[in-house]
Amino acid sequence: MRLHICAVGRQRTGPERTLTDDYLSRFDRTGRPLGLGPATVVEVEDRKGGGRAAEAQLLDRSIPAGAAVWVLDERGKLLTSPDFAAELARLRDSGRQDLALLIGGADGLAPELRGRADLALSFGPMVWPHLLVRAMLAEQLYRAATILSGSPYHRV
């Protein structure tokens, strides 16, 4: 199952980008034998200043046809890492070919885009900078792959 991290904003060179790239590389190596990956990042940017509605249109266009859609949102469901891994495995085992993981911009996701999601995930009630959310999501994808592969990376 291919994963598409569809995010508002450009992640320039820096520690967040390095961290995201490192974890996505680890995920690809660990996840491929499990039928997970590759994971790619699709960046969209509203240059005309249309706000959440314009960002939603750009994000919507970045979602592959037939993909499951998960959104990162502070009002979403809190999952443990093993539960996140189980959700990924369940989706993969259902025969889905693509999963789009959406990360909004500074003002979050438009309600209509959140409403379209198959799953809304939260990294807690705090608001996180969207560039850090990418790195956190990449790490959780890698962690999920290690959980599913039986690797000792994840400890309880």
Q: pLDDT tens-digit profile of 32-90?
A: 999 999 999 999 987 788 889 999 999 999 999 999 999 999 999 999 999 999 999 99
**CA–CA gap between residue 145 and residue 11 (Å, rounded):** 24
Q: What is the CA radius of gyration of the chain?
A: 15
Which tens digits make up the pLDDT trace of 98-115? 999 999 998 889 999 999
The domain locations on the chain are 2-149
In this model, does residue 155 exceed pLDDT 80? Answer: no
Class of domain 2-149: alpha beta
- Which DSSP category does 64 fall into? P
Task: State the Cα torsion 13-61-79-39 to the nearest 10°.
Answer: -50
The answer to whether the beta carbons of residues 127 and 138 sit under 8 Å apart is: no
Q: Provide the pLDDT confidence category of residue 156 given band limits of 50, 70 and 90.
A: low
